[in-house]
Amino acid sequence: MREIKFRAWLKEDKKMENVKTMDFTDKTIRCLKKNEFINAYLLRRVSFDDVELMQYTGLKDKNDKEIYEKDIVSCNKYKNIVVFFENGCFKVRYPKNDTTNIICTLDTFLEKYKCKISGNIYENFELLEENK
C-alpha cells in the first residue's frame, strides 16, 4: 500500500510546502513555513482555496525523489511531460492539450524509461513552453 501524503502550492506566497495535516471540516491544511527572522519552522493554517494540492504518487524517479501529481518528468525519449491523476490512476502526458497526448500510466512509463523530475508546473512553468 502506498503512503498517502500531499504537498501544496501556496498561491499567495508562490511557494511549495509539505502538508502536515488536512482538516476537511474547516477546509484547511497545515504546513510548515520557514520563518527567516527567527530561523525556525512554524506551523501555518491555510484554506483549501489558497492552495493547489498535489498528491504523492507512491513512486520515485531515477534519483529516488518522490513524484507528485503536477510534477514535470523527463527522460531520453520524452522531455517535460506532466504527471496527472485521472480515472483512479496517475498518468503522464504532454502539456499541449489536456484531453489528448496521454502517453501511458505513470508506473508503466517509469518501468520502461528511467526518468527524473525536471520540476513542477508551478515553479518551472517555462519547461512546459519547450514542448510547444
When divided into structural domains, the chain yields a total of 2
pLDDT at 55: 95
Domain holding 89, by residue range, is: 57-129
Cβ(71)–Cβ(64) below 8 Å: no
pLDDT at 124: 93
In a domain, 1, yes or no: no
Mean pLDDT along residues 107-119:
86
DSSP at 121? T
Euclidean distance between CA atoms 130 and 126, whole angstroms = 7
CATH code for the domain in which residue 105 is found: 2.30.30.290
Q: How confident is the model at residue 73 (pLDDT cuts 50, 70, 90)?
A: very high
pLDDT at 28: 96
Whether the predicted pLDDT of 100 surpasses 60:
no
**Same domain as 44, residue 20:** yes
Euclidean distance between CA atoms 96 and 5, whole angstroms = 28
Cβ(72)–Cβ(127) below 8 Å: yes
pLDDT at 92: 87
- Write the pLDDT tens digit of every residue in 1-54: 778 999 999 999 999 999 999 999 999 999 977 667 777 777 889 999 999 999
Q: Give the pTM.
A: 0.85
**Same domain as 113, residue 69:** yes
What Å distances lie between residue 39 and 31, 32, 33, 36, 56, CA to CA?
16, 13, 11, 5, 28
